[in-house]
Amino acid sequence: MDVLKIATAGSVDDGKSTLIGRLLYDTKSLTTDKLEAIEKKSQQLGYDYLDFSLATDGLVAEREQGITIDVAHIYFSTANKSYIIADTPGHVEYTRNMVTGASTSQAAIVLIDARKGVIEQTNRHFFINNLLRIKTVIVAINKMDLVDFSEEKYNAIKSDFEALMSKRDYQDQNITFIPVSALKGDNVVNKSENTPWYQGETLLQHLEGIDKQDIYNTGTPRFPVQYVVRPKTEDFHDFRGYAGKVYGGELSVGDDIVVLPSQTKSKIKDIHFYDKKIETASRRSSVLITLEDDVNISRGDMIVKENDLPVIDKQFTATISWMDSQNLTPGSKYVVQHGVNKVLAKVDSIHHKINPDYSGIDEGGKSLTMNDIATVSFKLNKPIFYDAFKEHRTNGSFIIIDTQSNNTVGAGFIQ
Partner 1 sequence: MLKIIDMKDTSKINPLENEAIYIMREVAAQFEKPVLLFSGGKDSITLVRLAQKAFYPAKIPFPLMHIDTGHNFPETIEFRDRLVKELGLELIVRNVQDSIDEGKVREESGRYASRNVLQTTTLLDAIEEFKFDACIGGARRDEEKARAKERIFSVRDDFGQWDEKNQRPELFDMLNGNIELGQNVRVFPISNWTELDVWSYIQKEQIEIPSIYFAHTRATFLRDGLIWSADDAVVYRDENEEVEERIVRFRTVGDMSCTAAVLSTASDIVSVVQEIRDSTISERGARIDDKRSEAAMEKRKQQGYF
Which is nearer to partner 1, 202 or 395 (by Cβ)?
Answer: 395
Give the shortest CB-283-to-partner 1 separation in angstroms. Answer: 7
CB of 60 to partner 1, least distance (A): 5
Q: Which is nearer to partner 1, 152 or 234 (CB)?
A: 234
349 has which bridge partners? 377
Distance in Å, CB of 226 to partner 1, minimum: 5
- Count CB atoms within 10 A of the CB of residue 28: 10
* Cβ distance to partner 1 smaller for residue 179 or 356: 356
Q: Rank residues 41 and 184 by Cβ distance to partner 1 and give the closer one.
A: 41
Question: Where would I find the H helices in 14-150?
Answer: 16-26, 32-44, 53-56, 60-65, 95-103, 120-131
CB 304 within 8 A of CB 377: no
Measured from the CB of residue 240, what is the shortest distance to partner 1 in angstroms?
11
Name the minimum Å distance from CB 285 to partner 1: 5
Backbone angles phi, psi at 388, to 5 degrees: -70, 145
- The DSSP output letter for 7 is E
User: Least distance from C-beta 250 to partner 1, angstroms?
Assistant: 7
Label residue 339 left, alpha or beta by phi (over 0 means left) and psi (-120 to 50 means alpha). left
Q: How far apart are the first and last CA of the chain?
A: 34
Using the minimum distance from each CB to partner 1, give the nearer residue, 72 or 203: 72
Which residue lies nearer to partner 1 by CB, 118 or 302? 302
